[in-house]
C-alpha cells in the first residue's frame, strides 16, 4: 500500500517555483489558486503538515488553525514573521533558505547604487520623453571611486556588497549590532557614525524584530543632503515616511530601493519624488538563486518528513 504523501500548503504563486520544489516530497495546495479559502480552511486545514511561505507574504490563517502542522518552511532567507514566533511557541520546526541568493542581491545593491548616483533611470526617461535637447541634460554626478560607502549589516549579502564595491576604489566601512573580528573593513562606532562618515549607505542588515525602523529620521539626517541610501534588506528596516520627506525636501540626494514598507508599493506614494530608483523586490529573482532555493526547500522537506535534522533550521 502506497503511503500518502504529507500535505503542504504553499502561499507563494506557482510561478515562483516553490510549489514545484515542494511537490517533489509533498502533495501541494497553492494558496493563491484556492477558489474558496474559507471552505479549504474548514475542510483541509487540519491535514496540512507543512506550510511553505515567504516573510513578505500575508499568512492564510493563524497557526493554531493548522493542528497537524509540523514544519514552517520559508522560501528565502527571511523568516521574521508572527507565524515564526507562533511556531516556536508550539514547538513547530521552522526552516529558511539562507545563502541561496546573497550574491545576486549584492549585485542588485551595487546596480541600484550606480543607477541612483549616475541617474541612469532618469536619463532613460528623459530620452524617451524627447528631453535631450542640449548637452549634458542631467545634473553632474560624483565619481564612484571618490565616495565613501557604508554598509549596514556585514552578513553574507553585506560582505558580497563590500567585495564588489572594493573594485571602485572608494572607502568602505560597516556597522552591525555584533562585532566581527575577522572583518576586512573597519566597523563604525555606531550606526549614526557610519551614516555621518558615508556618502552612500547600503542597507543589507538581517531583517528581524530588532531592525524595524533601524534607518530612522536621525540616521537619514546624519547621511545628509549629499548622501544616498540603498536598501536591499526589507522595507520595514527603513522609516519610509521619513525617507520620502527627506527626498521631497532635498535633505537626501537620492535612494535606490528594492524593498518597501508595503508591497506592492503604490505609484502615488512616489509621485513627484526625484532622485529615486525603484525596483519591485527582485534582487534575488534570478535563475540561479531560485534553483538553489528550490533545491534547499526540497531537501528540508525531505529531511523533515524522514525524521532527519533540517539542513537549515531557524533556531534564533
Portion of the chain with pLDDT greater than 70, in percent: 99
Instruction: Return the CATH architecture of domain 102-278.
Output: 3-Layer(aba) Sandwich (3.40)
Q: What is the DSSP letter of 238?
A: B
SS3 of residue 15 by DSSP: helix
How far apart CA 69 and CA 118 sit, in angstroms, is 49
Angle at 84 between CA 82 and CA 88, to 5 degrees: 120
**pLDDT beyond 70 at 246:** yes
Domain boundary assignment for the chain: 7-100+287-305, 102-278
How far apart CA 187 and CA 290 sit, in angstroms, is 32
Taking the whole predicted model, whether its pTM rises above 0.85 is answered as: yes
Residue 1: per-residue pLDDT: 46
- CATH top-level class for 7-100+287-305? alpha beta
Q: How confident is the model at residue 2 (pLDDT cuts 50, 70, 90)?
A: low
Alpha helix locations (H) across 184-306? 191-196, 217-223, 240-248, 287-305
Residue 101 main-chain phi, psi, to 5 deg: -135, 10
Residue 56: per-residue pLDDT: 86
Q: How confident is the model at residue 209 (pLDDT cuts 50, 70, 90)?
A: confident
What is the DSSP secondary-structure string of 125-167?
HHHHTT---SSS-S-----GGG-EEEEE--SHHHHHHHHHHGG
Question: What does each C-alpha distance from 163 to 42, 106, 109, 175 come to in angstroms?
Answer: 51, 9, 12, 16
Residue 136: per-residue pLDDT: 87
Residue 3: per-residue pLDDT: 75
Residue 263: per-residue pLDDT: 94
**pLDDT beyond 60 at 95:** yes
Residue 124: per-residue pLDDT: 96
Q: What is the mean pLDDT of residues 51-61?
A: 93
**pLDDT beyond 80 at 316:** no
User: Which cell numbers in the block locate residue 275?
Assistant: 532622485
Buried/exposed code over 125-153 (b: 16+ C-beta within 10 A; e: otherwise):
eeeeeeeeeeeeeeeeeeebeebebbbbb
User: Which cell numbers in the block locate residue 309?
Assistant: 535534522
User: Which cell numbers in the block locate residue 34?
Assistant: 484556492
Average pLDDT, the chain: 96
Catalytic (active-site) positions: 234, 263, 281
**pLDDT beyond 50 at 74:** yes
| pLDDT tens per residue across span 7-23 | 999 999 999 999 999 99
Question: Do 7-100+287-305 and 102-278 share a fold?
Answer: yes
Amino acid at each position: 500500500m502506497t503511503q500518502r504523501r504529507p500535505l503542504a500548503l504553499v502561499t507563494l504563486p506557482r510561478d515562483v517555483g516553490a510549489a514545484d520544489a515542494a511537490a517533489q516530497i509533498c502533495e501541494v495546495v497553492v494558496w493563491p489558486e484556492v477558489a474558496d479559502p474559507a471552505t479549504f480552511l474548514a475542510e483541509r486545514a487540519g491535514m496540512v503538515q507543512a506550510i511553505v511561505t515567504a516573510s513578505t507574504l500575508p499568512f492564510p490563517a493563524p497557526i493554531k488553525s493548522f493542528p497537524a502542522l509540523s514544519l514552517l518552511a520559508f522560501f528565502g532567507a527571511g523568516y521574521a514573521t508572527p507565524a515564526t514566533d507562533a511556531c516556536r511557541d508550539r514547538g513547530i520546526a521552522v526552516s529558511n533558505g539562507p545563502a541561496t541568493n546573497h550574491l545576486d542581491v549584492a549585485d542588485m545593491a551595487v546596480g541600484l547604487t550606480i543607477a541612483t548616483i549616475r541617474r541612469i533611470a532618469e536619463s532613460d526617461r528623459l530620452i524617451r520623453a524627447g528631453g535631450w535637447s542640449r548637452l549634458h541634460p542631467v545634473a553632474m554626478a560624483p565619481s564612484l571611486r571618490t565616495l565613501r560607502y557604508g554598509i549596514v549589516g556585514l552578513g553574507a549579502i553585506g560582505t558580497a556588497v563590500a567585495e564588489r564595491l572594493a573594485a571602485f576604489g572608494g572607502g568602505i566601512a560597516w556597522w552591525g549590532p555584533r562585532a566581527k573580528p575577522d572583518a576586512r573593513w573597519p566597523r563604525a562606532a555606531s550606526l549614526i557614525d557610519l551614516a555621518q562618515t558615508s556618502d552612500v549607505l547600503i542597507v543589507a542588515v538581517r531583517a528581524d524584530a530588532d531592525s524595524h525602523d533601524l534607518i530612522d529620521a536621525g540616521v537619514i539626517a546624519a547621511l545628509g543632503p549629499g548622501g544616498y541610501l540603498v536598501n536591499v534588506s526589507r522595507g520595514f528596516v527603513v522609516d519610509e515616511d521619513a525617507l520620502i520627506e527627506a527626498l521631497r525636501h532635498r535633505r537626501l540626494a537620492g535612494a535606490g530601493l528594492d524593498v518597501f514598507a508595503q508591497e506592492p508599493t503604490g505609484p502615488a506614494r512616489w509621485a513627484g519624488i526625484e532622485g529615486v530608483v525603484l525596483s519591485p523586490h527582485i534582487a534575488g529573482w534570478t535563475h540561479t538563486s531560485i534553483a538553489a532555493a528550490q533545491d534547499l526547500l526540497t531537501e528540508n522537506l525531505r529531511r523533515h518528513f524522514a525524521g532527519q535534522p533540517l539542513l537549515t533550521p531557524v533556531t534564533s
